[in-house]
């Protein structure tokens, strides 16, 4: 649980304790979900399903406890520490690239 808390804090870029949609997607990427397009596009559909469940009115205010409750109610395969580290690095690189192109 401590590792999940660290991941939540890492993606909460404005440090307000509440995730918006982009931050939530980052959390899902950190957990090992991928947004790469595949023939089934299963991962993206699953992230969309999570978003609809956790934020049905799109108010972009997703709390830590809501994330814990959502993921606790799902059967989630826990990725290895190496996989989590790799996805975290990919997420941070993507976020850095986004900020570089947005603010340049």
CA 62 to the chain's CA centroid: 11
Number of domains in the chain: 1
Other Cβ atoms within 10 Å of 27 Cβ, number: 24
Write the DSSP symbol of residue 19. Answer: E
Report the alpha-carbon distance of residue 57 to residue 36 in Å, rounded. 26
More confident call, 42 vs 49: 49
Q: What is the CATH number of the domain that holds 42?
A: 1.10.238.10
pLDDT at residue 86 in the model: 57
pLDDT at residue 49 in the model: 85
Q: At residue 1, does pLDDT exceed 60?
A: yes
- The H-or-E segment that residue 18 falls in is strand 18-19
The answer to whether residues 10 and 23 touch, using CB atoms and an 8 Å cutoff, is no
Write the DSSP symbol of residue 13. Answer: T
Q: At residue 71, does pLDDT exceed 90?
A: no
pLDDT, tens digit (0-9, with 9 covering 90-100), for 3-30: 889 999 999 999 999 999 999 988 988 8
Residues 75-80 have a mean pLDDT of 54
Report the alpha-carbon distance of residue 104 to residue 98 in Å, rounded. 10
Write the DSSP symbol of residue 77. Answer: P
Q: At residue 40, does pLDDT exceed 60?
A: no
pLDDT, tens digit (0-9, with 9 covering 90-100), for 81-99: 565 555 555 555 555 555 5
Residues 66-91 have a mean pLDDT of 66
Report the alpha-carbon distance of residue 46 to residue 10 in Å, rounded. 22
């Amino acid at each position: 649980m401590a590792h999940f808390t660290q991941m939540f804090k890492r993606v909460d870029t404005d440090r307000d304790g509440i995730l918006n949609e982009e931050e939530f997607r980052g959390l899902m990427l950190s957990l090992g979900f991928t947004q790469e397009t595949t023939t089934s596009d299963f991962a993206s559909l699953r992230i969309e399903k999570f978003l609809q469940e956790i934020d049905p009115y799109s108010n972009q205010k997703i709390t830590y406890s809501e994330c814990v409750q959502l993921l606790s109610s799902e059967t989630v395969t826990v990725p290895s520490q190496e996989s989590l580290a790799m996805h975290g690095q990919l997420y941070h690189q993507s976020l850095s690239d986004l900020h570089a192109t947005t603010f340049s």
